[in-house]
Amino acid sequence: MARMLMALALSVAAGAVPAVNMNVFKDAPITRLTEPEVKEFRAAVMKVLDSAPDGTTVEWKAPKTRFTSKITPRKSFEDGKRKCREATVESDSHDRFQRGLYTFCKGAKGDWQFRLSPSSPKSK
């Protein structure tokens, strides 16, 4: 359960998510990571969202665990006053694979969070 919560913490990037189905993380590749590796992975995702141009894929490998992830920002846009990015995250732990398209927006504290509102993105 702790690893599932860590996976949620990574994916949410410290935002509150009242309606996320926790079962999606039950068999996710990220459950193979140690707690320190989850923190490193989260930091890598945040760095990619902060600085990688749209369409650029950045690969991250866990230092000890057999885990590789490719993070590709797809589209940057504004949602009201918030800066947002769509990104594909593809993770492989050799016995588990997961690929998803996620939308993150900058929170009030400058951290990336899941965009919870279904509002339509405005392309830049």
Residues with Cβ < 8 Å from 11, sequence gap 6 or more? 20, 25, 102, 114
Question: pLDDT value at position 44?
Answer: 96
Dihedral (CA of 89, 97, 120, 74) sign: positive
Question: pLDDT value at position 108?
Answer: 86
Question: pLDDT value at position 39?
Answer: 94
pLDDT tens per residue across all 124 residues of the chain: 334 434 444 444 444 444 445 555 677 898 999 999 999 999 999 999 999 999 999 999 999 999 999 999 999 999 888 999 999 999 999 899 999 999 999 988 889 998 764 544 444 4
pTM for this predicted structure = 0.74
**Closest CA relative to residue 25, chosen from 13, 10, 42:** 10
Contact in structure between 105 and 116 (CB atoms under 8 Å): no
Question: pLDDT value at position 123?
Answer: 44
Please give the single-letter amino acid code of residue 38. Answer: V
Please give the single-letter amino acid code of residue 68. Answer: T
